[in-house]
């Protein structure tokens, strides 16, 4: 199974400041079809996860442009240019290149 | 409105069985893979398994293979998760999520239900 490792596991951020989360996979996420199936989700307390980024760097419909994803191979990053109150929660990376689909441990982003 | 609604959760004893349902509306259910994801209390997300649009293909994580069975009824726009031989470690909120259309190259879970809680305890 591909192991997804996120760092840091928690992050305290002042609203208006940037934030960055790293996700490393134990194997390359480059699929034989040339795509990299790496996703980012945000889960707010008491809510199901919601999709933010698909295929490494594509923002899902309705996701603000302060969110950006980057990376390739085994190293990926989610950046928030200026954190807002609605951005607090737990962020998960997930790979869908190989079964079983696997998630990172989650990074809790809290208000400083 | 595009949505998924899970039901069927509850309290069950170890070794018991439970069947979860996931009802879809607002989109063409029979065109999509659908997935089950679970989250133990205070823990992270774990992919459980998924099924292709016509029900001919399904995959499971090792920890549930042989105990859990995914099925679907496209006429009823519903997906099911039959859980047998339940263990304490199966205690979790179970979410169903839309998983993408064959050939689209899109494999993200873009629509999620609110989840249903399963508690395995004596």
Q: How far apart are CA B54 and CA B45, in angstroms?
A: 26
Interchain contact, A49 vs B61, CB within 8 Å: no
Does the CB of B47 have a partner CB in chain A at under 8 Å? yes
Residue B45 touches partner A, C-beta closer than 8 Å? yes
Mean pLDDT by 10 residues, chain A (112 residues): 98 96 98 95 97 97 97 98 96 97 98 88
Point out which residues pair with A20 in neighbouring strands: A79
Q: Do A105 and B95 touch (CB under 8 A)?
A: no
- CA dihedral for B119, B15, B84, B77, sign (positive or negative): negative
- Note the pLDDT tens digit of each residue in B52-92: 999 999 999 999 999 999 999 999 999 999 999 999 999 99
Whether chain B has a CB inside 8 Å of the CB on A67: the answer is no
Instruction: Say if B61 is an interface residue toward chain A (CB within 8 Å).
Output: yes
pLDDT tens per residue across span B69-79: 999 999 999 99
Contact assessment for residue B84 and residue B62, using Cβ atoms and an 8 Å cutoff: no
DSSP string, B58-92: EEE-TTTBTTEEEEEEGGGTEEEEEE-S--GGG-E
Closest residue to B107, CB basis, from A49, A96, A105: A96
């Amino acid at each position: 199974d591909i192991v997804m490792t996120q760092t840091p596991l928690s992050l305290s951020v002042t609203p208006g400041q940037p934030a960055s989360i790293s996700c490393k996979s134990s194997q390359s996420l480059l699929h034989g079809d040339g795509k990299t199936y790496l996703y980012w989700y945000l889960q707010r307390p008491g809510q199901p996860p919601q999709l933010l980024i698909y295929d490494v760097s594509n923002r899902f419909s309705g996701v603000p442009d302060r969110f950006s994803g980057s990376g390739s191979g085994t190293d990926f990053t989610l950046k928030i240019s200026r954190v807002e109150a609605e951005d607090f929660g737990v962020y998960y990376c997930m790979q869908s290149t190989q079964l079983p689909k696997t998630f990172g441990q989650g990074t809790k982003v809290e208000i400083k | 409105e595009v949505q998924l609604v899970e039901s069927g959760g509850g309290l069950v004893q170890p070794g018991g069985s439970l069947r979860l349902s996931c009802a879809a509306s607002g989109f063409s259910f029979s065109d999509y893979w659908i997935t089950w994801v679970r989250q133990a209390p205070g823990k992270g997300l774990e992919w459980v398994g998924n099924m292709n649009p016509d029900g001919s293909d399904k995959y499971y994580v090792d920890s549930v293979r042989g105990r859990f069975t995914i099925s679907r009824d496209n006429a009823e726009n519903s997906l099911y998760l039959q859980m047998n031989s339940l263990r304490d470690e199966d205690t979790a909120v179970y979410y169903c999520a839309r998983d993408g259309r064959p050939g689209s190259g899109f494999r993200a879970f873009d629509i999620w239900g609110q989840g249903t809680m399963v508690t395995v305890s004596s």
